[in-house]
Structure 1
Amino acid sequence: ATPELFVTYASRWVYWHNARAAWSLKLAALVECRRRPDRSAMDRPFVLDARRMSLAAIDRLLLAEAGRTGDFRLAACAPGATLGAAPLPGEPFSPEKFAGQLDRAFDQLIGDEHRFVLDVSGKRALLPGMLWACRKMVRERYQAEYGSRHAVLLTALRPYVGRAGRARLEQALGYTPVERPRLVELAIPRRKVFHPGKVGRAEP
């Protein structure tokens, strides 16, 4: 397949989002789902339709598309098996459903406490790398649509999220947005250990 020759832009975006999701899952399997694999293992290149690619190369393509179209979510919602990426979709992306899938993906990203992390003691909102890379685009789009020239980043995100994302952004009121540390950590649910006598409590 040659995405550049696809009839619609949505078809191109779907191609790259699905490719990123699939290779990210493959890499997670190759590292035997270790919670914190070596970064080099997750940077491993692969051949995709006669191209030598990597997750970082796909991210660069999606950032370029986001900049060209003005829709930062194309890059911010790049799916992956790590907590630094948007959640993996429940089904493959498709051109016919992509608009709705992108809406849901962005809401899930902002609403996910393990990806959009609030540092309560430091009053900081830790943003995933791809969303952080889009911060200028977010503010520019908000300014163009709402005429506010001085909106802060977290305010500028509000029109583009659903219920889960809005709740998370409300919790982040007054917080300073920063890029989250670039640790490679797989999105594996932590095992909860229940202790006798600690009713209603669980510790990781």
Structure 2
Amino acid sequence: MSKKDDKLLKWSSIIATIGTVIIATTALITVYVTLKAWQIQREDARPYLSLKESPQVTVQKGVQFEFKFNNVGIHPAVNLSSQTVVFEQNLQQKPTHNERYDLVNEIPKDTSSSLVISLTPEEIEENAYYLVVLLQYIDPVIDRQYQQSLLFKWNGITEGKAQAIIHVQAQEKEKISRYLETNQINFN
């Protein structure tokens, strides 16, 4: 074999190696992009509980707040637990209500579930209150736990009529968080 043939063989070997590296790199990038897309698609299918309608307030021998949630995700939600904390908007007193509820049934896609908070006349006065609802549930398809926190305020009872529940403003979130921390209210 001549030197010229040797050089040609060497260069063709180098070009073939570079081509193989490029193809292998392209394959790895394709696998990575496919896995990321699959993870995003799987996460998009997670259960997500959304309020179906505005929370209802009923005054009869105390006060009842009813929240109707709808699973707008594709996967079902299982082992739903909620913790509700109710406290005065002046943030000076201990919580009026701090309860945990557990639901054993799964909540499939497009299915509703209700959460009712009942306060006795002794627990409630004609003051303004914050209501904090923490939802925890598991996606059984990917075995992952999710949390959602909902913050509301209620201006109490005026002239015998229950006021509507409304969402808190962004600037109120920090003082609610501080109140919960100060009163050692943990959501677990």
TM-score (norm 2): 0.26
Instruction: Name the structure with the higher helix share.
Output: 1
Greater strand fraction, Structure 1 or Structure 2: 2
Which structure's CA Rg is the greater one? 2
Return the TM-score normalized by structure 1: 0.25
